[in-house]
Amino acid sequence: MNSEIRELEPKGLWNKFADLNAVPRPSKKEERVIAFMKDFGKQLGLETIEDKVGNVIIRKPATKGMEDRKAIVMQSHLDMVHQKNNDTKFDFDTQGIEMYVDGDWVRAKGTTLGADNGLGVATIMAILESKDIQHPAIEALFTIDEETGMTGAMGLEGGILNGDILLNLDTEEDDEIGVGCAGGIDVTATRSYKEEETPEFKIGYKITVKGLQGGHSGMDIHKGLGNANKLMNRLLFDGFENFGLRISEIDGGSLRNAIPRESNAIVAIDVIHSDAFELEMKELADTIKTELKTMEPKLVIEVSKSETPKHIMDLGVQEGLTRAIYAACNGVYRMSADIPDLVETSNNIARVLVKEGNITILCLTRSSVESSKLDLANSLRATFELTGCEVEFSGDYPGWTPNMQSPILKVMTKIYKELNNSEPHVAACHAGLECGILGQNYPNMDMISFGPNIKGAHSPDERTQISSVQKYWEFVLEILKNIPKH
């Protein structure tokens, strides 16, 4: 299956992508891919180091005639988001990604593809391995844990890198040149509660929300996609208001940076209300499906009888929880007043887990304005604290402020126009890129971000366009040839 990937052009890039995707590389479990990258650099006879947090740096001298050009840092992250369809049997800790060609697209079988940011890593590997590509001196920076905390970028010390220009290969539209990004902060709400024994006159139900698209909680947050946690809460709230529904368990969503696609709940209803409850839930499910029919045509909401749970939540805590999730902001909070069509501030209610006397709610709040990010985070904190939760802020990282006078931006804009007879889209994005963090220790480094078309990142529908990768590769090669002199 991956053999057909290796025959795609440019073969150097696609072969490195296939090699990389054979190595399991979940965030915070990058030991194998770190070893893989170190072996790769050493086999090429290039200076290869691992810093104290696990980032890998490989240095390659300039090719003949390019010694007088500014040194560049080419940067991508090693980890990938692990998401799979509910019916896909796959172990991300032990298996390599199973890829296939679908027309002009490369996809994975029921899982995320790892194009984010594996294509960037593969690009750099192909250039490091090449013997005929012109380039200035290169420092290849492969960071860890970008997807769940950016701890690699945060842990990279000043003084390690010597490059003048940083090319971040982590943008997902091939006509876009990135000059800025949002910062983020993790908001975590927790509390414990007393479980009650379920009364004998109650009957159990399982409620399932599935079939949602999911997606990137930054790049896709403005699209009106369904959030499984918010939809589940709507069903639970209605069931309680009309039939005294009692919650036993909720398990919704997964990663902070992925819009949740699925949620399951175990609940209990008085036996005498069962028929009316089923009818009400069907009507509400139909209403929700109608609301979301354009963006979420595959949405499934199932309500079925199950074994009656032995325990249910304390009533007061349940009321507070469902009201807090209802009130908590999810989606776009504010659009940018300075950059057209850019989301400034947003939140993703990514994970809701209620089980065995404990509640955990995970959110990721993003903004390109630090004060607005904190404002929304405090709004969420207040909402969850009102229901008795303890709220913790963590993983705070800064945004990347656009520099429209960037010298490398001018070079790349000119090259793009010459190659494509059109203007590139110079923009900031509502995703977290490592440039803002790296810029704290390297404030004088000129930074830019770009990449090929990648759709559905952070979801099992992730795919990359073959023709776009070819366009992007040609762009990369021309950039390397045209790096300015010292």
Residues, the chain, total?
486
Q: How far is CA 132 from CA 3, 227, 451, 481, in A?
A: 25, 48, 22, 12
The model's confidence at residue 1, banded by pLDDT at 50, 70 and 90, is low
Q: Which one from 146, 170, 176, 462 is the annotated catalytic residue? A: 146
Name the region of 14 (left: φ>0; alpha: ψ -120 to 50; beta: rest).
Answer: alpha
3-state helix, strand, coil in the chain (%, to 5): 30, 30, 40
Lookup result for tokens 């950059």: 339
Residue 431's pLDDT is what? 87
Of residues 159, 142, 143, the one with CA closest to residue 151: 143
Average pLDDT of the chain to the nearest whole number: 96
pLDDT tens string 119-137: 999 999 999 999 999 999 9
By DSSP bridging, strand 165-168 and strand 446-449 are parallel
Is residue 482 a contact partner of residue 409, using CB atoms and an 8 Å limit? no
Of residues 417, 426, 435, 423, the one with CA closest to residue 475: 417
CB neighbours of residue 17 within 10 Å:
30
SS3 199: coil
Residue 120's pLDDT is what? 98
Q: How far is CA 337 from CA 128, 238, 281, in A?
A: 42, 37, 41
**Dist. CA 365–CA 161, nearest whole Å:** 30
67 belongs to the catalytic site: no
Percent with pLDDT over 90 in the chain: 92
Q: Which one from 79, 164, 434, 461 is the annotated catalytic residue? A: 79
Q: What are phi and psi of 49, to 5 degrees?
A: -135, 155
Name the region of 45 (left: φ>0; alpha: ψ -120 to 50; beta: rest).
Answer: left
Q: Which residue(s) pair with 249 in the sheet?
A: 266
User: Dihedral of CA 39/474/60/431: which sign?
Assistant: negative
249 belongs to the catalytic site: no
Q: What are phi and psi of 79, to 5 degrees?
A: -80, 160
pLDDT tens string 259-318: 999 999 999 999 999 999 999 999 999 999 999 999 999 999 999 999 999 999 999 999
In the chain, the domains with their CATH numbers are: 2-182+399-481 (3.40.630.10), 185-397 (3.30.70.360)
Residue 2 has pLDDT above 80, yes or no: no
